[in-house]
Amino acid sequence: MDRKTGTIMIVAAGILWGSMSIFVNALTALGMTSMQISVSRSLFTPFLLIPILYKMDKKLIAIAPRDWYYFLGTGIFSLLFFNWCYFNAIKASSASVAAVLLYTAPIFVVLMSAALFGEKLTKKKLAALAVTFIGCVLVSGVLSQGQSIGTKALLMGLGSGFGYSLYSIFGRYALAKYHSLTVTLYTIMFCAVGSLILSAAETGVLLPAQLFTAKGLGIAVLMSVVTCAAPYVLYTSGLRYVESGRASIYATVEPAVATIISVTVFSEQLTLTKISGMLMIFLSVVILAKEK
């Protein structure tokens, strides 16, 4: 594999993450809360990955006990913290405001990667970063809606962006020692346990009753494959060949894809502002792809 293949894998991961709204809307319609949906997304993924790893090489399932902190970082400090902050940012403001603040993540990744891994802050990378963020602002529609951002929403939104960014950082350390599938498996296992605890504290029940219906179970399992197992395997694998800063920018195709889905599937209005935002996001990918 090379950087080109890694780039394709990361962009593919962003596309799959962009389909999240389809499953979230379906489970919300069944009466599930945000944290219950988070549980549903991560709970089944280990059961999907373990048989794959076992068939490939059962040694891939094992990790050294002393390395637990890698996955505390990717699973709890990143995935779980990001989910918790993101859902609270939505409650404190709106989905559009939360989405803009979430996509401060590439800024954190680029700066931390420069400090920790010595990745160069090139002019093209900084230009792509600026174009990406402006594109995300336009796609969200937050400017046209004229929404204000309160202190809680701001802190939670920035927290979600920071948590989201940590996966690229902790993931790179874990990949120095473990296979990408192993990293994905333990990341999601840690996240699933943490999500169960938070969901139980919020609702008073360990698992939502909707998961014990054929429809709820089917949607949850499909969501686990499409928005969790597959994209995290692709993204983690891509991190082996692509700089963390680049990877985080490539993955911002997610909001553009989410907008396309909202228009085609949920009949939401497609404005010139959103079109401009999507084009800017795709432009940032092109800018980085042309940089050697």
Give me the pLDDT at residue 99, please. Answer: 79
Burial per residue of 166-186, b for 16 or more beta-carbon CB atoms within 10 angstroms, e otherwise? bbbbbbbbbbeebbbbbbbbb
Give me the pLDDT at residue 102, please. Answer: 87
Burial per residue of 225-237, b for 16 or more beta-carbon CB atoms within 10 angstroms, e otherwise? ebbbbbbbbbbbb
Total domain count for the chain? 1
The residue with greater pLDDT, 34 or 222, is 222
Mean pLDDT of 208-222: 94
Mean pLDDT of 119-141: 89
Q: How would residue 71 be classed by pLDDT, with cut points 50, 70 and 90?
A: very high
Tokens read off for 248: 């985080």
Determine the longest span between alpha carbons in the chain, in angstroms: 54
Q: With 80 as the cut, is the pLDDT of residue 95 above it?
A: no
Mean pLDDT of 47-66: 93
Q: How would residue 16 be classed by pLDDT, with cut points 50, 70 and 90?
A: very high
Cα distance between residue 41 and residue 192, in whole Å? 8
Give me the pLDDT at residue 26, please. Answer: 93
Average pLDDT, the chain: 90
Mean pLDDT of 62-78: 95
Domain span holding position 124: 3-289
Q: With 90 as the cut, is the pLDDT of residue 78 above it?
A: yes
Q: How would residue 292 be classed by pLDDT, with cut points 50, 70 and 90?
A: low
> Under a CB-based contact definition with an 8 Å cutoff, are residues 285 and 155 in contact?
no
Q: Among 3-7, 12-16, 141-145, which range has the highest average pLDDT? A: 12-16
pTM to 2 decimal places: 0.89
From residue 91, alpha-carbon distances to 38, 45, 123, 129, 254 in Å are: 15, 27, 37, 27, 21
> Under a CB-based contact definition with an 8 Å cutoff, are residues 18 and 230 in contact?
no
Quote the DSSP letter at residue 73: I
Cα distance between residue 185 and residue 48, in whole Å? 9
Mean pLDDT of 80-108: 85
Cα distance between residue 77 and residue 108, in whole Å? 14
Tokens read off for 173: 């350390």
Give me the pLDDT at residue 147, please. Answer: 58
Give me the pLDDT at residue 145, please. Answer: 64
Mean pLDDT of 142-151: 69
Q: With 90 as the cut, is the pLDDT of residue 154 above it?
A: no
